[in-house]
Structure 1
Amino acid sequence: MSEIEIETLDGDGRFKAYVAKPESSPRAAIVVIQEIFGVNRGIRQKCDHLAADGYLAIAPDLFWRIEPGIELDPDVEAEMNQALGLMGKFDQDQGIKDIEATIRAARTHLPEGGKVGVVGYCLGGRLAYMTAARTDVDASVGYYAVGIDGLLGEKDAIANPLMLHIAGDDGFVDKETQAKMHEGLDHHPKVTLHDYPGEDHGFATEVGNRRSPQAADEADARTRGFFAKNLG
């Protein structure tokens, strides 16, 4: 396992991040934003796949202020409940600052003008949207992002491309919320929404019971194309 330490924006601490490096010079960098289960095996595999595609991939431990190094399995009920508890304690605004610090750190590993994207899942999908609105990230992707309807007031700040993958039968994002996402974002020139009818939350996870291979492959292919277009 390869890790780096990243200094916070205000210099009050340092947090760890998993890093996967391509075999040659990176075409760009992508920050992988965790679910509520920490930087677990599935998130590390996401990084590894991106590195195989030529990107420098970095997954910061966003729960480090609560419980550093947490890794949980959503298929284990007790660990799912633990993850939900961590979500309740997590300061999302502070999390965006840590993601911004990771973006800045990623830029130091690229040639001048090198681009950085983010991709996030579940909570990370929400944070990817927030990152698109609040930072200078070059491109963002969110999978089954939660609570976007409450963040639509920030949409005018999104200046660079954002793609959102929406699970049609998401147990955490009901049909009304999905409709509000489309109403608020369909006409945004920088935002693209993709729906996956019949799919549930977590369909693109790398491992475990939630994975739905066909939908995951379709979404991941769109993500690869999106990053190839917008990051290089």
Structure 2
Amino acid sequence: MTAMISIPTLDGAMMPAYRATPADTPRAAIVVIQEIFGVNAGIRRKCDTLAEAGYLAIAPDLFWRIEPGIELDPDIAPEMERALELMGHFDQNEGIRDIEAAIRFARDQDGVAKVGAVGYCLGGRLAYMTAARTDVDASVGYYAVGVHGLLGERHAIAKPLMLHIAGEDGFVDKDTQAAMHAGLDDQLKVTLHDYAGEDHGFATEFGKRRSDAAATLADERTAAFFAAHLG
């Protein structure tokens, strides 16, 4: 079952979110962290797939403080430009607090014992920040941007984190990828996977960016990771 719900934020407001519920008792919950395109059809499909696998999936509308209900298509040039503009206005620290609110909501209102997080693009960066700044049980980031600037927080990562790195990422250059490995390869809780020849957005559900083989491999690794750490 799917529905739009409202989640109480840490500052007393209400945040819209998409929730997909499995047919049976959830094995755990996973917060799905959007790209810069909002909670669009692709993110909703990520939630639906997780629900089919037995997880309660919640995708908070992290741009709600700017403009609620944003849904953009990266294959349409003006919509890509709008997405980049929105990212420039987005307060990432506030976004982490809203993700924390979603984690608390899943535990308190839906009664699941463990909560994970998975994010894409901006959401991949936020997944890393979530691992460092919240008590989430496990996190996965796909083609996370700007992680080299967050390496000072790596020692705060207390629960498992997996990052999928696109080898030819147009937003994450080779030097940045090397810095991620240099800063994280020795972290016991962190696993990095590289996808040679793949570009940013390779695991999107729809559109021109998708690369089926790499997306399938990354998603299989993510499924095994969550099965191991969330149950």
Alignment TM-score, normalising by the size of structure 1: 0.98
Give the unaligned 5+ runs of structure 1.
none
* Distance in 1 between residues matched to 2:107 and 2:26, nearest whole Å: 11
How far the C-alpha of 1:111 sits from its partner, in A, is 4.1
* Distance in 1 between residues matched to 2:26 and 2:147, nearest whole Å: 31
Q: Are residue 18 (structure 1) and residue 18 (structure 2) matched?
A: yes
Superposed counterparts of 1:1-232, under 5 Å: 1-11=2-12, 13-111=13-111, 114-232=113-231
SS at match of 2:37: coil
CA contact (8 A) 1:26 1:110 kept: no
Indicate how the Cα distance of structure 1 residues 68 and 111 shifts in structure 2: closer, same or farther if over 3 A, else same.
Answer: closer
Give the unaligned 5+ runs of structure 2.
none
Write out the 4+ residue segments of structure 1 that deviate beyond 3 Å after TM superposition.
Answer: 109-112
CA contact (8 A) 1:28 1:110 kept: no
Aligned residue type for 1:77: A
How far the C-alpha of 1:10 sits from its partner, in A, is 2.1
* Distance in 2 between residues matched to 1:160 and 1:172, nearest whole Å: 27
CA contact (8 A) 1:146 1:172 kept: yes
Identity %: 73
How far the C-alpha of 1:16 sits from its partner, in A, is 0.5
Question: How many positions carry a matched residue from both structures?
Answer: 230
SS at match of 1:73: coil
How far the C-alpha of 1:47 sits from its partner, in A, is 0.1
* Distance in 2 between residues matched to 1:97 and 1:109, nearest whole Å: 17
- Across the aligned residues of Structure 1 and Structure 2, the Cα RMSD in angstroms comes to 0.8
